[in-house]
Every structure is written in structure tokens, then in C-alpha cells.
Amino acid sequence: MPHPFLQRLGIEYPILQAPMAGSTTPELTAAVANAGALGGHGCAALDVETTRQHIRTIRSLTHKPFNLNLFCHQSLPLEDTQEQFWTSLFVPYFDALGSSTPDSLSSNYVSLHDNPAMVEMLLEEKPPVLSFHFGLPAAEVISAFTAAGIMLLGCATRIEEAQAIEAAGLDAIIVQGAEAGGHQGVFLDTRHNDFIPLHSLLPQIKAATQLPLIAAGGIMTGEHIAAVIKAGASAAQLGTAFLLCPETNTSAAHRHALKHGTGDNTALIRVVSGRPARGFVNRLHQDLDKHIHEMPPYPYPYSMTKALNKVAEAKHNTDFAVHWAGTGVAQIREMGAAELVAVLEQERLAAG
């Protein structure tokens, strides 16, 4: 019999495609949904009307459920001394590339807390599922989404966050282990660096909460999915596994890195954006990690990182490239999204 949680989600297979901001596309989301899993689309860097357009594009491509992801970080002030210090660290890099250093940092990721127009639009469009990273919406927003019939997922990196998600009235918890590519969804203590492997985190949260759990972090195969379900998860969320799909917005340089990388050359890197995120080690991580306690708050460092990488890429320099990937990247496969979902489900069933 189908798992009750999968029935609530309206999907056939216990597979969620991670809604990776900047990498997902409406085409990817729809292809995964049509294949029987839950497609996800990262909307954290999109404005309100673009997000609305993407919702409508997804709906034109599938009648199946899908998930949109929003960031709920607490917006922290940028101090002048922080900005000046962080900018000064980048001057030698820009000078070496023959370019001027931006004289200020900017915030290009608007938190849902600061975006009532996004909330209003989502209540109008009513996507089937919403998931939240870096925190949770305000109580009244959660109530409004729930009243609109939207299923809500929160991301936890430790027991206390899982308990906060349950107390807030969400429908399920994404249990994100340290192996996960991209940003850790930590929100109760954003300065800590001791992230917990999935095999340890999943049973901890299973014992402490009653909600359905979605395991995430280093999951690349159907055997991995079967293992986390056996350990107590209702489903698994995979991100890195989908990055070579043709429907994914992955750059040529990133695809090359994914094809040749291993989990051994990834690390949780804070200096790129101001928050820990797993990707291939680059020069910024090697040079600036010693300054993580002096850096500005998320997402301000991201603007400088992206500006530097843009200049470097124009000169065919990949020293500063930001290529997110999880620890299981060596097992990545290049195929269409629908085919990958089918292969994962076949492997899961074969694993028993």
C-alpha cells in the first residue's frame, strides 16, 4: 500500500528533487513531477512576478504536485566596519584580474519575512507544496498557507530545529545531514560549524518528533533511498543527483566539476555567502576561511563573491567558481530527469 505521507503529497515514489535555488527550472520540476516524484523549484532569488510566472509555467507542463522553496532568514544589519573589512580582502583578487573592486555589498536574497507581496502572491496561486530554508515563516503566514490547503515542509539540521518545525504546525521535516550539497538550512544557531551526518541525525530527530521525515544529504542512488526509509524516513530528497540532468540550469563549468569531482574535494564553505554551504573547495575557501568570524552576515558576502567570479570567468579563470555539490557526487549520473527518477525507483525496489 502507498505510504500515507506520499498519498498526502500526491506522489507515487518516495523521492523529492531538491529545490536548488539557481539550478532548478520549471522544466526540471515538471519532468520530475510527471515521472511520479515531487519536483522542486528554488525561488529564493526570484522576484514576485517571476515566481508567479514560473508557477504558471510548471502548471502548464504538469498536473502533478510540485514544491516551491523560499528562504526565511533573519535579515541582519550590515555594519560599515564589516563591509569595509570584507571589501578590502577582495581588492588583491580584483587587482590581479585587472578590474576594480565593488565599493559596497548588496543583499539580493529577500527573506520571506520581508516580502509580504510574495506571501500574497503564493496565497493567490496556491502551489501544492512550499518548503522553507534558513527558518520558518511567521505564525500568521503559516496559518494562512495551511488554510489555503498548501502542504508545508521545514528543513532541520539538528533536533531543536526539528522540534521548532513541529511546534510551528508544518506537515513534515526535511532532515538535512552534513553531507548535503549547497546551503545548510540551519536557523537556530547560525554561527555553529558542527553539522551532523545524516546517519546520526535521522534517528535523533525520529526519536524526538512525530512528523514524517524526509532524509537529505549524500543520497544519490535507490539503494541510499531504501536505506534511509529503513532508518525511519518517509521519503528522500536528492539534489546533487539531478545536477547533470539536461533540464537543470547547471553551467558547463559546474557540469565539468561534477563529472570529475569526489566527495573528498567538497567542504562546508562559509566565506562564499556568509552561511555554510557544501561545494567544491575553491581559492576563497582556502584563503579566507580564517576570517569567517569577521565576515558580514548572509547574504551580503555573496554579492562580492559573484562579482569576483564573473570577472574571473571572463578571463577563463575558475579559481573562484562556486560549484555546490554533496559528498556523494562521485556517484552522479548524466540522464534526463524522468529517466533518473525511474532508475532510482527501480534501484530502491531492488534493494528491498
Mean pLDDT, the chain, whole residue set: 96
**What whole-number distance in Å separates Cα of residue 290 and Cα of residue 44?**
28
DSSP string, 220-258: -SHHHHHHHHHTT-SEEEESGGGTTSTTS---HHHHHHH
Q: What does the alpha-carbon distance between residue 190 and residue 160 come to, in Å, rounded to a whole number?
A: 13
Could you tell me the pTM of the whole model? 0.96
Q: Which residue has the cell 513534515?
A: 172
Structural domain includes residue 159: yes
Instruction: Compute, in degrees rounded to 10, the torsion defined by CA atoms 130, 134, 136, 137.
Output: -80
Per-residue pLDDT reduced to its tens digit, 108-162: 899 999 999 999 999 999 999 999 999 999 999 999 999 999 999 999 999 999 9
The answer to whether 195 and 241 have CB atoms below 8 angstroms apart is no
pLDDT digit string (tens) for 17-55?
999 999 999 999 999 999 999 999 999 999 999 999 999
Tell me: pLDDT of 169 over 90.
yes
Indicate whether 8 belongs to any domain. yes
Pairing between strand 235-238 and 15-17?
A: parallel
Q: In total, how many domains does the chain have?
A: 1
- Parent domain of 183: 4-73+109-246+333-351
CATH of the domain at 163: 3.20.20.70
Residue 259 is assigned to a structural domain of this protein: no
Per residue in 216-230, pLDDT (tens digit) is 999 999 999 999 999
Whether the per-residue pLDDT at 334 is higher than 70: the answer is yes
Residue 263: the pLDDT is: 84
Confidence of residue 248 (pLDDT cuts 50, 70, 90): very high
Q: Is residue 92 part of a domain?
A: no
Q: What is the pLDDT of residues 277-291, one digit of tens each?
A: 999 999 999 999 999
* Residue 331 pLDDT exceeds 50: yes
Dihedral sign computed on CA atoms, order 237, 241, 243, 247: negative
* 128 within some domain: yes
Sign of CA dihedral 155, 157, 161, 163: positive
Residue 15 lies in a domain: yes
For residues 97 and 312, is the Cβ–Cβ distance under 8 A?
yes
Residue 95 lies in a domain: no
pLDDT at site 108: 85
Q: Where are the alpha helices (DSSP H) in the chain?
A: 4-9, 26-34, 48-61, 80-96, 116-125, 139-147, 159-167, 198-208, 222-230, 252-260, 283-288, 300-314, 337-351
The per-residue pLDDT for 2 is 57
Residue 86 C-alpha cell reads as 570584507
Domain assignment of residue 326, yes or no? no
Q: What is the SS3 assignment for 339?
A: helix
DSSP state for residue 334 in the 8-state scheme: -
